[in-house]
Amino acid sequence: MKRYWLANVAGLLFLISAIPERTAAQVSYTITDLGTLGGDNSIPFWITNTGEVVGVSETGQFDASGNPINHAFRWAGGPLEDLKTLGGNNSFATGANAEGQAAGIADVSGGLTSHAFLWHAGSITDLGALNGPNGFSFASLVNDAGQVVGGSTTADGGFDAVVWNRGVLEDLGTLPCPTGGCASQANGVNNHGQIVGGSQVSDVPDLTLGFPPYHATLWSGGTILDLGAGPNRSIGSFAFNINNKSQVVGRFAPPDPVEGAVARAFLWESGVMHNLGVPAGFGDDNSEANSLNDNGQIVGDSGVGFVESYAPNHALLWQNGQWIDLNTMIPVDSDYHLIVAFDVNAGGQIVVCAVQLSTGNIHAAVLTPQPSKVSGTFAAPHVSAPPSLSENAKRLLRFAMAKRNKH
């Protein structure tokens, strides 16, 4: 992973001493570490409007190859609840709704494939795949009506965006594709049943990307809408979520002379894709918008590297027309550096991937807005250098980002 580091410890100490600390009145969040299911690392993907969180955690167990076994979890204020699997080793929970349902992906018995699942009240249901029990599928999100969206292999060897409506699996199809054989996947769904994700517009790999380009896609009312490749002659785009106001967030990929292609966060509304850029002062050349609430708050991350594999360095909040580094809004003595913000609920609570500075492990954490007058000392902007991650933390983060972005 590429990372920017200060030249020496003396330089870092000088920078920290030279920048004044923020006062308590400027601080917005407390941080709650959700812990793990027994291993060292965990990652949150979603927080409901009632404050329940789902994600993935190491269990403290290992497979036959010595790799950590990861299970989906649910957090409702107490210890993490293990959502188990579909009989195999691993599972991920990527979304949840106000009805207490959670959706994700889990290995089936025998470990030969993985299927989308829906969990509720202690019971996990296999949602199957378009091409039967030997096919592959995943679920990204479930709305309050119980509609589950994701992707599945197809009988003709393709891969399409899908929606499960009360257990009935529907193929959402793809954007028009002159070359044929194009794929799609669904990442987000709002409570009106509008679905967003990405669809290939060609099955020919782009020379810069190394894979066929996707365009951000909206499925709504039986139609498929191409949201475009993005501004500034971008190569492609991908949508991650949609709110109940039909605002869409994600990332597009403009060419870059150093990295080849980089990510830029976007907000799409009323037919226009807006470039949210990258935050100033970090040296980061990538950004992405992972989710948003109905109040216009957008969360995401920024980092350094190639568009599909860049290393996230800073968890971000888009508010009042600018990116805010969430590391500047937690207590300076918290022993955490926040690298990815995955979701924000209606109350402004944010789930983040927090690096423990003392261990290099990553933990699922919740940021909760606080009244303006909170005691404590908080970090100044742009002070924190990206921390070094433990090897298992790097592995889980890479796997989690790949599950969310490409499956």
In this structure, of 13-22, 353-362, 391-400, the range with the lowest mean pLDDT score is 13-22
> pLDDT at position 378, please?
45
In this structure, of 179-183, 242-246, 365-369, the range with the lowest mean pLDDT score is 179-183
The token duo for 193 is 């049943």
Q: What is the mean pLDDT of residues 258-271?
A: 95
> pLDDT at position 8, please?
29
Output the pTM of the full model.
0.90
Separation of CA 4 from chain center:
22
Closest-CA residue to 369 (of 314, 293, 305, 311):
293
Question: Nearest-5° angle of CA 380, CA 382, CA 387?
Answer: 110
- Indicate whether 35 belongs to any domain: yes
Q: How far apart are CA 287 and CA 320, in angstroms?
A: 17
Please state the domain count of the chain. 1
10 has pLDDT over 50: no
CB-count burial class (<10 Å; 0-12, 13-18, 19+) for 155: exposed
> pLDDT at position 166, please?
87
Instruction: Give 124-171 pLDDT, tens digit per residue.
Output: 999 999 999 999 999 999 999 999 999 999 999 999 999 999 889 999
Q: How far apart are CA 252 and CA 248, in angstroms?
A: 12
> pLDDT at position 7, please?
29
- Indicate whether 1 belongs to any domain: no
The token duo for 337 is 């550096």
> pLDDT at position 372, please?
62
Cα–Cα separations (whole angstroms), residue 248 to 5, 31, 267, 291: 34, 27, 6, 8
221 has pLDDT over 90: yes
- Indicate whether 30 belongs to any domain: yes
322 has pLDDT over 80: yes
> pLDDT at position 173, please?
96
- Indicate whether 3 belongs to any domain: no
Instruction: Find where tokens 């589950």 sit.
Output: 148
Q: Are 183 and 200 in contact (CB under 8 A)?
A: yes
Closest-CA residue to 118 (of 138, 104, 132):
104
Q: Are 241 and 251 in contact (CB under 8 A)?
A: no
Q: What is the mean pLDDT of residues 84-96?
A: 97
- Indicate whether 233 belongs to any domain: yes
For residue 176, give its domain range: 9-405
- Give me the CATH number covering residue 168: 2.130.10.150
> pLDDT at position 15, please?
27
Q: Are 161 and 186 in contact (CB under 8 A)?
A: yes
What integer best gives the mean pLDDT of the chain?
A: 89
Residue predicted with more confidence, 331 or 20: 331
- Indicate whether 299 belongs to any domain: yes
- Indicate whether 2 belongs to any domain: no
> pLDDT at position 384, please?
53
- Indicate whether 126 belongs to any domain: yes
